[in-house]
Amino acid sequence: MAINPIKMKKNRYPSVVYSIMMLAGLLVGLVSCKKTEGPSEPARIFKPSAVKIVSGETSAKLTWTAPILSAGAKLAYTIDFSTDSLFSSIKYSTTSDTAGVKVTDENIRVRTKYFARIKANATSTQPESKYIVSSSFQISGTQLFRPVIETEIKETSVTLRYTQTSGLSSIVLTPSTGNPITTTLTAADAGFKVISGLHAGTKYSAELFLGSKSVGFLSFTTPAATTYAVVLSPGDDISAAVATAADNAVIGLNDGTYNVPLGITLSGKTITLKSLSDNPDATIVNFKGFTLLGTGAGIKVAGINLNGTANSATYFADLTSASSNAAAANFTTITVDNCYIHGIGTGLIRGDRSSSYTIGAISFRNSLVYDITGSSSYYAFHLDKLVFASLTVNQCTFYNITPGLLNCKTTLSAAIPNISFTSSTFNNFGFNSLYVVMNASANPVNFTMKDCILANTPRSGTVLGVILSTGTGSSGSFTFNNYFNLKATVGGTDLTIPSTINQTANQTINLGWTIDRTTFELPVGSALRTASSTGGAIGDPRWTY
């Protein structure tokens, strides 16, 4: 059969057009089906967004923005909580019919990092949405624990204090390695618990429970175990033990009373005297004083009641050298930790015998210093002429003491010394026309007094002022302190802090203390219980409880 080429040409184009139209229709149909039948796109638009979290002690409030397609619709949400962002394990789940939910310490653990994921639940016309995941958050938890007093952290025990609350059931101590220790509480514990059986040099976390609910958390580290060169008992000769001990030896003292009628000389070596119980109420040394003789000499005392009354002690530590103090001497350190020092006739430390004397750190910590009669012009820390790196007084109480705290007015320092009085209490001090806190005169110093309470000057006679410091290159700050009844004479003109000293957040609340006061508790509800630079109590913390 013959083919008409003209006819073929006429019929081919309608066929091509038809094919194109069919293909276009098929594509339109596929796109249309995807929009009306597939859940992905609507679910994405239906997803919540912009999660915000406000956390507190016992709860966290989560809010979010409702989905774009939810206008006019009543939606419900599912909220899951997990400790990992992949939600491999759900720790708590709940629902909400508003764009927000509150989660409490009844639902999730305090001080634990959580993530939340939120989805809009399906409706009659809309499938459920995809999840949105929050950033991490945690509930801080109720804090009924009080700060740990440093002197109550021992090598193998700790005293934990807390606000007494009905229903408190237990304290759980968890060491950095090893098994937790659970201690049951009763109403008879009255706000504190001594927990024994701990390991030295170990970090512990402590958690306080009211039933199964955590209501307190803190951490502390026990001191490293002490290695004693020798351990003495009452009746043993402390002077002889010091004389035969090697440099840097630690001499342990069992509880009891020791009598040391003659001064103890440390010739060219540094010795530590430490009570095994770390309890100055139980370990008493009636002493004459320590003499630091020559380069390398130093002393550390810890956990001891050092009473100078019976043996008429003149100084706690007297710095001397050979050739009637003509020889230069580089002393090491003087450290007093958790001690009572009292009954001293002149001053704590005498360092004015030679301008060729140097020493590193002088530190008094967690100690009571009282009844330093100071009948002469000697300050408690009489460091005139001594080149010293630092003087630190922290968490101490000084009362009924010498003409003033510190004299360093002619120190010949190669470097400017750092002087710091912090979190300490001072009452009834100053006389003999001296400065009650510090006389640095023209010697440059870096001076700080912070979070302290000062009251009742002078003990008698007159004083010249609170602080004298005019040295070029000096810095000074007097901040977050409370002072009252600081006078130039008994009942006379008020003393003022020099304008050259930086002053911030100081107060002048009169606590009613008299000159014969020997305990310095802060009244319950006192503004000074929250007045420190860290928001806690000011003064020696032992008086807060």
| Residue type present at position 266 | L
Task: Mention every residue, 6+ apart, whose C-beta is less than 8 A from residue 391.
Answer: 362, 363, 381, 383, 406, 417, 418, 419, 420
Q: Is the pTM of this model over 0.85?
A: no
Query: What is the four-CA torsion angle of 443, 441, 293, 430, rounded to 10 degrees?
Result: -150
Number of neighbours of residue 75 by Cβ within 10 angstroms: 20
**Residue 484, both tokens:** 């009252």
CB-hemisphere CA count at 13 Å for 359? Answer: 35
| Cα–Cα distance, 425 to 416 (Å, whole number) | 26
> Contact 320/357 with Cβ under 8 angstroms?
no
Q: How far does Cα 349 stand from its chain's mean position?
A: 29
Task: For residue 480, give the nearest of 497, 494, 493 by alpha carbon.
Answer: 497
Strand 418-422 and strand 387-394: pairing? Answer: parallel
pLDDT on residue 307: 98
Query: Any idea how long the chain is?
Result: 545
pLDDT value for 43: 54
Sheet with 181-184, side-by-side order of all strands: 181-184, 170-175, 203-210, 213-221
Torsion sign, CA atoms 18, 22, 23, 24: positive
| pLDDT value of residue 231 | 98
The closest of 304, 280, 544 to 424, measured between CA atoms, is 544
Tens digits of residue pLDDT in 101-114:
999 998 999 999 99
Please give the domain boundaries of the chain with CATH numbers for all domains. 42-133 (2.60.40.10), 150-221 (2.60.40.10), 230-543 (2.160.20)
Q: Is 420 exposed, middle or buried (0-12, 13-18, 19+ CB in 10 A)?
A: middle
| Residue 440: count of CB within 10 angstroms of its CB | 25
3-state helix, strand, coil in the chain (%, to 5): 10, 40, 45
Query: C-alpha angle 404/441/496, rounded to 5°?
Result: 60
**How far, in Å, CA of 149 to CA of 159, rounded?**
8
Q: How far apart are CA 157 and CA 151, in angstroms?
A: 11
Q: How far apart are CA 145 and CA 160, in angstroms?
A: 8
Buried-state track 95-130, b at ≥16 Cβ within 10 A, e below 16: ebeebebebebebbebeeebbbbbbbeeeeebebbe
Rounded to 5°, angle at Cα 108 from 105 and 112: 100
Element (H, E) at 20: helix 5-37
Quickly list H helices, 197-354: 238-244, 322-325
User: Contact at 8 Å (CB) between 53 and 61?
Assistant: yes
Asked if residue 155 lies in contact with residue 226, where contact means CB atoms within 8 angstroms, the answer is yes
Strand partners, 54: 61
Spans of the chain below 50 pLDDT = 1-42
Residues 6+ apart with CB under 8 A from 174: 180, 181, 204, 205, 206, 207
Q: Which helix H or strand E contains 42, and what residues bound it?
A: helix 40-45
Going through 276-412 in order, the beta strands assigned E by DSSP cover 283-286, 290-293, 298-302, 305-307, 315-320, 329-330, 334-337, 340-344, 347-350, 357-365, 368-372, 381-382, 387-394, 397-401, 406-407
Contact 424, 397 (CB under 8 A): yes
> Distance between alpha carbon 401 and the CA centroid of its chain, in Å?
29
